[in-house]
A and B are shown apart, each in its own frame.
Chain A
Amino acid sequence: MSYLFFNITAAAYFAATLIYIAYLFSHREGFLNSAKYILSGGFGAHTITIISRWAEAGRTPVTNLHESLTFFSWITVALYLVLLYRYRVSVLGAFVAPFAFLLIITASFLPSEVVPLAPLLESLWLPVHVILAFLGNAFFALACIFGIMYLIQEHYLKKRKIGGLYFILPSLEILDELNYRCLTYGFPLLTLAIITGAVWSEYALGSYWNWGPRQVWSLITWCLYAALIHGRLTTGWRGRKAALFSVIAFAVLLASFLLINIVLGGAHGLLR
């Protein structure tokens, strides 16, 4: 059953992406609304996919890259829907939809069999750690998207040649503010994810910190975001610099996440 709903999700995200692109070119509000509904519908199917997968495996469905990407995509769209409700930045969907679709389509090319988890990894810490980590990542993904939107909008204003997306993107101040908000939510979540990961590692492997590649990379990511937030709070980093930095930091995060999972296999290589 999860397979069917997975395909529905992929199709809906693809359709939403296309309609959002049509919106970006035509600026027709009608497109924006229908894309929003299709994306929300896709999210419903996505939720069913996750739940049925969870039931099938009997644990949080994040133990291989296919599952992880699916879960990451889901939590990002969920967060987008919450933000949409709070801040009414509808155009954000035009960036979230292709991102969610890319994650899903990548996942679809990866083996999706349910891999039995090593018994020593079975713990309540698994869902806690994983949900914190992915929620943090989703906030960073949105911070990155707001950064990209900022860079586009600023490009128009700096070059003094307005047109195209200028008319539909929000103001620089709002984009900067939302970028900052996302960072301030994402950072504590990442911190907690690292701590719970360490605790889980202690339960499962008997040591809090073993300088595994996953832990090293998450520390590097953590340092990058710590530097960014520090810069924003103290030295008045804002605007283009902060936007660019959050794009780069997220690129590092995503690359390390993919690399570690591909090179070491699921669950940070703990399966082997």
Chain B
Amino acid sequence: MNIIIVGLNHRTAPIEIREKLTFPADVIGDALKKLVKSYGANEGVILSTCNRVEVISVYPEVEKGVWEIKRFLSEHHNIPLETLDEHLYAHTGEAAVKHLFRVAAGLDSMVMGEPQILGQAKDAYSLAIHNNTAGVIVNKLFHKAFSAAKRVRTETKIGASAVSVSFAAVELAKKIFGNLRDKAVMLVGAGEMAELAATHLLSNGVREIVITNRTYERAVEMAREFNGVAVMFREFLHYLKNVDIVIASTAAANFIIRPDDVTAVMKERKHRPMFFIDISVPRNIDPLVNNIDNAYVFDIDDLAGVVEANIRERKKEAGEAEVIVEEEIKTFYRWVNSLDVVPTIIALKQNLERIRKQELEKALSELEGVSEKDRVVLEKMTSAIIQKVLHKPLTHLKREAKSVEGDFFIEATRKLFDLEEEEAIKKTKNSEE
């Protein structure tokens, strides 16, 4: 039983190669069946997204497995292996488990910590289930990967900080205002980027949106779209006092919001904070506005800096996430080790021996005048029953353990007799000593 992952991602292959290797969702089923039938895989999952294509599978032998998967990828897509090979990576054993856990947790993604990959991994897994290519190992492997990803998501803040400019603007607004629920925003200029930022602010509960634009019709149009208020461009400074967040994105060649304007507005609004986002080039808001108390001005470069800082912060969280991944790998391997046939047999025998002893004691305490000889006879008889009952199942189990379905038989035995994983490990350790 060997877990093997062969594939490529955004770091190892350019888009030209990745797009050729993609598996559309409707062909994955057939591809999986082919992988198992013609390429000798015991189990298999195909994960195909725009940034990665990976075959996660279980093979009896490592080298052969890697080779078979490569051959499968090359033949399925009709690409010569020579062109493909330099872009492919192959992980086996524990490295493969680690790779999958990191992928599911978003640690291997282009945007670290992004959540979509988990959903894509779940889809890939359910396709494998529908096509009967997910066996004992793949089931456990993916369930563990999902729970590791979930832990990473809940125990670290890796998904928390914004890594796009418009999200960064919202994040900053939250650091200034806390709650955005009772805040109003004004769009000065109605470009695409302003629209995007406004959408994010609205989805974070901003109360009101005021829109102004040089062409008034465009402002009205957008106001309708966002359920906001349109105001004339030459009058917009009058409305400034009512809003907390200003997003400027006009094509004006010089500053349209100056320190004097803001000083006057600040007095009127009793110095409640104002957040100016200037995404226009050349800038629309005089940077000196930032020197006014309770006014905060961020231009497009500042926002880019915030995004960078957010990404750095995510990387910091990644360290914590890696620890979680390592822990989950350990619990996965605890289970894998229990799949060995020897500890399973030992555990099963000891389990039955315990029952035999208990029952024998019970019987002996109910009988009166049992001689030492009687006792020996009873011991022998009960032991013989257990041995005879166990003989056939254990012979089959030992034989099947070497076959393709071996893991299934061992897992079934453990389930049927309720043998704990921990126990098995302890037992193997003891028997080794």
Chain A contacts to B: CB under 8 angstroms: 26-29, 153, 157-158, 160-163, 166-167, 170-174, 236-241
Decide yes or no whether B290 CB sits under 8 A from chain A: yes
Main secondary structure of the interface of B (DSSP, over half): helix
Whether B403 sits at the interface, judged by CB under 8 Å, is no
User: B293 at the A/B interface (Cβ < 8 Å)?
Assistant: yes
Measured between beta carbons, the chain B residues less than 8 angstroms from A158 are 290, 296
Contact B316 A27 (CB under 8 A): yes
Chain B, Cβ-Cβ closest to A175: B178
Of the candidates A26, A27, A162, the one whose C-beta lies within 8 Å of that of B305 is A162
Whether A171 contacts B177 in the complex (CB less than 8 A), given A160-B305, A236-B270, A238-B272, comes out as yes
Residues of B with C-beta under 8 A to A172? 175-178, 273
- Of the listed stretches B103-111, B141-149, B193-201, B306-314, chain A binds B306-314
Task: Say if the beta carbon of B94 comes within 8 Å of chain A.
Answer: no
CB distance from A24 to the nearest CB of B (A): 13
Is A238 within 8 A of B155, CB to CB?
A: no
A residues less than 8 Å from B309 (CB atoms)? 161-163, 166
What is the CA–CA distance of A170 and B177 in the complex, to the nearest angstrom? 10
The contact string, 1 if C-beta is below 8 Å from chain A, for chain B 265-289, is 0000011110000000000000000
**Contact, CB under 8 Å: A166 / B293:** no
A160 to B174 Cα, complex, angstroms: 15
**Alpha-carbon gap, A143 to B310, bound state (A):** 29
Question: Any chain A CB within 8 A of the CB of B317?
Answer: yes
Contact, CB under 8 Å: A239 / B270: no
Does B298 lie within 8 Å of A163, measured CB to CB? no
User: Given the complex of chains A and B, what is the CA–CA distance between A157 and B305 in angstroms?
Assistant: 12
Q: List 20 additional contacts besides A238-B294, A239-B293; criterion CB under 8 Å.
A: A26-B316, A27-B157, A153-B175, A157-B176, A157-B296, A158-B290, A160-B305, A161-B309, A162-B309, A167-B161, A170-B178, A171-B176, A171-B177, A173-B176, A173-B177, A174-B178, A236-B271, A238-B270, A238-B271, A240-B293
Residue of A158, A161, A171 ringed by the most chain B CB atoms within 10 A: A171
Task: List, in ascending order, chain A residues with CB within 8 A of B302's CB.
Answer: 160
Contacts A236-B270, A238-B294; is A171 near B174 (CB within 8 Å)? yes
Give the interface size bracket for B toward A.
Answer: 20 to 34
Contact residues in A for B272 (Cβ distance below 8 Å):
238
CB pairs A–B below 8 angstroms (20 shown): A26-B316, A27-B157, A27-B313, A27-B317, A157-B175, A157-B176, A158-B290, A161-B305, A161-B309, A162-B310, A171-B174, A171-B178, A172-B175, A172-B176, A172-B177, A173-B177, A174-B178, A238-B294, A240-B294, A241-B293
The reply to whether A239 and B271 contact each other, CB–CB distance below 8 Å, is yes
> Would you call B422 an interface residue if the criterion is a C-beta within 8 Å of the partner chain's C-beta atoms?
no
Q: What is the minimal beta-carbon distance from A65 to any residue of chain B, in angstroms?
A: 39
Quick check: is B172 within 8 A (CB to CB) of the other chain? yes
CB-nearest residue of chain A relative to B299?
A160
CB A123 to nearest CB in B, in angstroms, measures 46
| B320, CB-defined interface residue at 8 Å | yes
Given contacts A158-B290, A236-B271, is CB(A29)–CB(B155) below 8 Å?
yes
A127 shortest CB reach to chain B, Å? 38
A-B pairs with the 10 shortest C-beta distances? A236-B270, A171-B178, A160-B302, A173-B178, A236-B271, A174-B178, A162-B309, A239-B294, A163-B309, A173-B177
CA distance A238 to B174 in the complex (A): 18
A40 to chain B, nearest CB (A): 22
Secondary structure type dominating chain A contacts: helix
Whether A167 and B296, one on each chain, are in contact in the complex, defined by CB atoms closer than 8 angstroms, is no
Interface centre among B178, B179, B296 (most CB of A within 10 A): B178
CB distance from A165 to the nearest CB of B (A): 11
Interface residues of B in 169-190 (CB under 8 A from A): 172, 174-179
| Docked complex Cα distance between A238 and B270 (Å) | 9
Q: Which residues of A contact B305 (CB under 8 A)?
A: 160-162
CA distance A172 to B177 in the complex (A): 6
Query: Are B172 and A157 in contact, CB atoms less than 8 angstroms apart?
Result: yes
A238 CB → nearest B CB, Å:
6
From residue A150, how far is it (CB to closest CB) to chain B in Å?
11
Q: What's the Cα separation between A161 and B317 when bound, in Å?
A: 20
Separation of A153 and B172 alpha carbons in the complex (Å) = 11
**Alpha-carbon separation in the docked complex, A252 to B79 (Å):** 78
A134 CA to B290 CA in the complex, in Å?
39
Partner among A28, A29, A167 whose Cβ is within 8 Å of the Cβ of B313: A167
Among residues of A, the one whose C-beta sits closest to the C-beta of B244 is A173
Specify which of A153, A160, A161 lies most central, judged by the most chain B CB atoms within 10 Å of its CB: A160
Chain B nearest Cβ from A74, distance in angstroms: 31
A29 neighbours in B (Cβ, 8 Å): 155-157
Asked if A239 and B273 sit within 8 Å, CB to CB, the answer is: yes
- When distances are taken between beta carbons in the complex, the residues of chain B under 8 Å from A241 are 293
- C-alpha spacing A178/B297, complex, angstroms: 24
Across the interface, which residues of A come within 8 angstroms of B312, CB to CB? 163
Q: Are B175 and A166 in contact (CB under 8 A)?
A: yes
Bound-state CA distance A167–B271 (Å) is 25
Report chain B residues within 8 Å CB of A171. Answer: 174-178
Contacts of B175 on A, CB cut-off 8 Å?
153, 157, 166, 171-172
- A238 / chain B contacts, CB cutoff of 8 Å: 270-272, 294
Task: For the complex, give the distance between the alpha carbons of A36 and B293 in Å.
Answer: 35
**CA–CA, A237 and B155, complex, Å:** 39
Q: List A contacts of B161 (CB < 8 A).
A: 167
Partner of A173, one of B157, B273, B310, B316: B273
| Min CB gap A152→B, angstroms | 12
CA distance A174 to B294 in the complex (A): 14
